[in-house]
């Protein structure tokens, strides 16, 4: 039986933050995640590192938390953040009175805000609507969630912590009002394992209620689905928000080589079962036109959705935008009579570190120890020099090596063969999706059309995989890409997928690999 002091459940940003925090405070800590790290809410958000401006008017507590953590993360996680800056803009469709309320609320929350002229706004962002009436600069930024999660895990491992992906919690053993054993199953091999521990941190986000049910403590979460669209290029270089109360299609975030427009907000009964509705796509594109004229006619690469882990008044039935984005730490000793478990619920990726700090503070109080938090002071691995991420970094690295463009696997995101080999070896993975999350493989304009077969070939050479396993990895990756392409399959994207079909179906014959896997471009319904 594996023995540890603390088990953290959930491999998103909050879980990785709690793992790091507990490890830095000297606890032997293990993180369990049922899939790959960052495959839940953290890896399916719009990429925005909030200044707090979005919540300043309606949710000032969240706004204050966001700006405080924004400043900290710029310092400790610089390599995962592109310091784009942000704009809040008032369109002709927005209430003119809201802008002054916005400025006052930002200043009350400690958020730096400066009004600029429309001419200056258009100089910075020439694609924005020239009919915009007012524009304000705030310290928004974009953040790469998988790099942030991986940085926290690497830091935790340096302090004796560990993290196991693809390990699903299946149950708990309790004795005298305490959890003594966490039972888990490896979702790849099927192997079951028992983990003895002193304390459990439930950081499963939208799935926290399911973990609570396994532990015998009622915990009602509301899953608020938010859908987003990936556009095929950086329409803007700054984060752009509508200056009004949060609504659909009112954020544009530059992320890597693309831009993301979002989001919708619809409560769903199951965080694992939801669809992206055509009406959501239409709504976001229609509203996006008010920010960038012609946006609806630009090429959409894919649509995706994540679920917000909403908690408020025991999962009140209010729709997602009416629930505060603040977080709570639930001590199940006083709440449910379970002496060694807490749940961290609510919140946002921007506040993940603060959420983890409060959670581990509660852990320390429960165990009767006094160990201060250091996560706001010590940079994550790779961020020690304080240099922020830049879209030009990968190209600059290739040029610094004298140019090895012939080794490019993914031309859209400048992913090289050596990077694919390194991640595959470090992660001991044959899953191209795991490599995608680490390197953004296949996330650019071709959506894997030209890099999937190259990456599969690298895995085959590196791991000496049997041809069938290599082909299955290729087909699975194509199918995952296809899921997001289907909702926006028109215009240029339809032409792209027809090209992909020629490559993978007619040239490479992927249909003959495994009849149970549908390749990209094929829909047998």
Using CA atoms, how far apart are residues 251 and 512, in angstroms rounded to an integer?
Answer: 42
pLDDT > 90 fraction of the chain, expressed in percent and rounded: 80
**How many contiguous H segments (helices) and E segments (strands) does the chain have?**
15, 24
CA distances from 39 to 108, 149, 202, 217, 393 (A): 36, 11, 17, 25, 25
Torsion of CA 399, 404, 410, 412, to 10 degrees: 30
Listed in sequence order, the residues at least 6 apart from 181 whose beta carbon sits closer than 8 Å to its beta carbon are 1, 172, 173, 194, 195, 196, 197
So what's the pLDDT on residue 512? 64
| pLDDT greater than 90 at residue 496 | no
Alpha-carbon Rg of the chain, whole angstroms?
A: 23
Q: At the topology level of CATH, where does 81-139+222-312 sit?
A: D-Amino Acid Oxidase; Chain A, domain 2 (3.30.9)
Q: Which of 66-80, 88-102, 232-246, 488-502 has the lowest mean pLDDT?
A: 488-502
Which DSSP string corresponds to 349-414? Answer: GGGHHHHHHHHHHHHHHHHT------TTTSPPTT-TT-PPP-TTHHHHHHHHTT--GGGEEETTTT
So what's the pLDDT on residue 216? 96
Q: First-to-last CA distance in the chain?
A: 47
**What b/e sequence results for 254-290 when a residue is b if at least 16 CB atoms lie within 10 Å of its CB, and e otherwise?**
bbbbbbbbbbbbbbbeebeebebbeebbebbbebbbb
Using CA atoms, how far apart are residues 501 and 498, in angstroms rounded to an integer?
Answer: 5
Length of the chain as a residue count = 525
Please give, one letter per residue, the 3-state secondary structure of 59-127. CHHHHHHHHHHHHHHHHHCHHHEECCCEEEEECCCCCHHHHHHHHHHHHHHCCCCEEECHHHHHHHCCC
| pLDDT greater than 50 at residue 110 | yes
Q: 3-class DSSP state for residue 257?
A: coil
| pLDDT greater than 80 at residue 354 | yes
So what's the pLDDT on residue 427? 87
Using CA atoms, how far apart are residues 465 and 479, in angstroms rounded to an integer?
Answer: 20
Using CA atoms, how far apart are residues 93 and 154, in angstroms rounded to an integer?
Answer: 46
pLDDT digits (tens, 9 = 90+) for 52-96: 999 999 999 999 999 999 999 999 999 999 999 999 999 999 999
Average pLDDT score, the chain:
92
For residues 186-193, average pLDDT: 96
Using CA atoms, how far apart are residues 328 and 344, in angstroms rounded to an integer?
Answer: 6
Using CA atoms, how far apart are residues 284 and 303, in angstroms rounded to an integer?
Answer: 11
Q: Using alpha carbons, select from 520, 514, 393, 517 the residue that is nearest to residue 448.
A: 520
Tell me if the pTM is above 0.85. Answer: yes
Q: Which of 184-188, 423-427, 486-490, 520-524 has the lowest mean pLDDT?
A: 520-524
So what's the pLDDT on residue 396? 86
So what's the pLDDT on residue 464? 82
The residue among 196 and 399 whose pLDDT is bigger is 196
| pLDDT greater than 80 at residue 519 | no
Residue 179, phi then psi, degrees to nearest 5 = -80, 130
| pLDDT greater than 90 at residue 181 | yes
Q: Using alpha carbons, select from 474, 472, 414 the residue that is nearest to residue 443.
A: 414
pLDDT digits (tens, 9 = 90+) for 142-157: 999 999 999 999 999 9
Using CA atoms, how far apart are residues 202 and 345, in angstroms rounded to an integer?
Answer: 9
Residue 279, phi then psi, degrees to nearest 5 = -65, -30
Residues of each domain in the chain carrying CATH 3.30.9.10: 81-139+222-312
Residue 158, phi then psi, degrees to nearest 5 = -65, -20
313: exposed, middle or buried (Cβ count in 10 Å: 0-12, 13-18, 19+) = exposed
CA distances from 408 to 40, 101, 425 (A): 29, 49, 18
| pLDDT greater than 80 at residue 383 | yes
So what's the pLDDT on residue 410? 92
pLDDT digits (tens, 9 = 90+) for 389-441: 998 888 888 888 776 656 899 998 999 999 999 999 988 888 999 999 999 99
So what's the pLDDT on residue 405? 57
| pLDDT greater than 50 at residue 137 | yes
Query: Model confidence at 355, in pLDDT bands (50, 70, 90)?
Result: very high
Using CA atoms, how far apart are residues 261 and 227, in angstroms rounded to an integer?
Answer: 9
So what's the pLDDT on residue 401? 79
Using CA atoms, how far apart are residues 298 and 235, in angstroms rounded to an integer?
Answer: 9
| pLDDT greater than 80 at residue 521 | no
Using CA atoms, how far apart are residues 33 and 185, in angstroms rounded to an integer?
Answer: 10
| pLDDT greater than 80 at residue 317 | no
Q: Respond yes or no on whether the N-terminal peptide bond of residue 263 is cis (omega within 30° of 0).
A: yes
| pLDDT greater than 80 at residue 164 | yes
Calculate helix-pair angle for 452-463, 467-485, nearest 10 degrees: 150
So what's the pLDDT on residue 468? 87
Count other C-beta atoms under 10 Å from residue 164's C-beta.
16
pLDDT digits (tens, 9 = 90+) for 214-235: 999 999 999 999 999 999 999 9
Strands 86-90 and 134-138: antiparallel
CA 331-335-336 angle, to 5 degrees, is 105
So what's the pLDDT on residue 492? 82
- DSSP lists the bridge partners of residue 354 as none
Listed in sequence order, the residues at least 6 apart from 148 whose beta carbon sits closer than 8 Å to its beta carbon are 13, 16, 77, 80, 349, 352, 380
**What b/e sequence results for 327-361 when a residue is b if at least 16 CB atoms lie within 10 Å of its CB, and e otherwise?**
bebbbbbeebebbbbbbbbbbbbbbbbbbbbbbbb
């Amino acid at each position: 039986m594996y023995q540890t002091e603390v088990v953290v459940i959930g491999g998103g940003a909050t879980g990785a933050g709690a793992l790091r925090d507990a490890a830095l405070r000297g606890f032997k800590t293990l993180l369990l995640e049922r899939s790959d790290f960052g495959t839940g809410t953290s890896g399916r958000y719009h990429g925005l590192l909030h200044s707090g401006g979005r919540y300043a008017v309606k949710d000032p507590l969240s706004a204050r938390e966001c700006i405080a953590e924004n400043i900290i993360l710029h310092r400790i996680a610089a390599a995962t953040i592109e310091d784009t800056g942000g704009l809040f803009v008032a369109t002709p469709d927005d209430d003119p009175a809201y802008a002054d309320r916005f400025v006052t609320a930002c200043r009350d929350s400690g958020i730096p805000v400066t009004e600029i002229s429309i001419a200056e706004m258009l100089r910075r962002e020439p694609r924005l609507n020239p009919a915009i009436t007012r524009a304000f600069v705030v310290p928004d930024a974009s953040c790469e969630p998988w790099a942030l999660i991986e940085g926290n895990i690497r830091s935790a491992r340096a302090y004796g912590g560990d993290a196991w992906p693809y390990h699903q919690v299946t149950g708990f053993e309790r004795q005298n009002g305490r959890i003594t054993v966490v039972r888990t199953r490896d979702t790849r091999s099927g192997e079951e394992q028992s983990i003895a521990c002193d304390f459990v941190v439930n950081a499963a986000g939208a799935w926290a209620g399911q973990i609570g049910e396994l532990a015998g403590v009622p915990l009602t979460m509301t899953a608020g689905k938010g859908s987003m669209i990936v556009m095929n290029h950086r329409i803007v270089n700054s984060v752009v928000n509508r200056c009004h109360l949060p609504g659909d299609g009112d954020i544009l975030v530059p992320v890597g080589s693309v831009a993301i427009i979002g989001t919708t907000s619809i409560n769903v009964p199951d965080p694992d079962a939801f669809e992206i509705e055509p009406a959501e796509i239409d709504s976001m594109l229609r509203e996006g036109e008010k920010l960038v004229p012609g946006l609806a006619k630009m090429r959409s690469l894919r649509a995706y959705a994540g679920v917000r882990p909403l908690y408020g008044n025991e999962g009140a039935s209010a729709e997602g935008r009416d629930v505060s984005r603040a977080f709570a730490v639930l001590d199940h000793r006083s709440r449910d009579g379970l002496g060694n478990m807490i749940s961290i619920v609510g919140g946002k990726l921007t506040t993940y570190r603060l959420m983890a700090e409060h959670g581990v503070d509660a852990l320390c109080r429960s165990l009767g120890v006094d160990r201060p938090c250091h996560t706001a002071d010590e940079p994550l691995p790779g961020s020690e020099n304080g240099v922020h991420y830049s879209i030009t970094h990968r190209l600059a690295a290739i040029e610094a090596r004298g140019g090895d463009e012939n080794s490019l696997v993914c031309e859209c995101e400048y992913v090289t063969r050596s990077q694919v080999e390194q991640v595959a070896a470090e992660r001991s993975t044959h899953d191209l999706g795991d490599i995608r999350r680490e390197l953004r493989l296949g996330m650019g304009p071709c959506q894997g059309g030209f890099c999937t077969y190259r990456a599969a070939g690298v895995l085959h050479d590196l791991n000496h995989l049997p041809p069938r396993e290599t082909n299955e990895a290729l087909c699975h990756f194509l199918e995952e890409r296809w899921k997001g392409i289907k909702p926006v399959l028109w215009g240029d994207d339809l032409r792209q997928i027809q090209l992909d079909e020629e490559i993978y179906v007619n040239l490479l014959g992927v249909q003959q690999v495994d009849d149970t896997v549908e390749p990209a471009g094929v829909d047998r319904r």
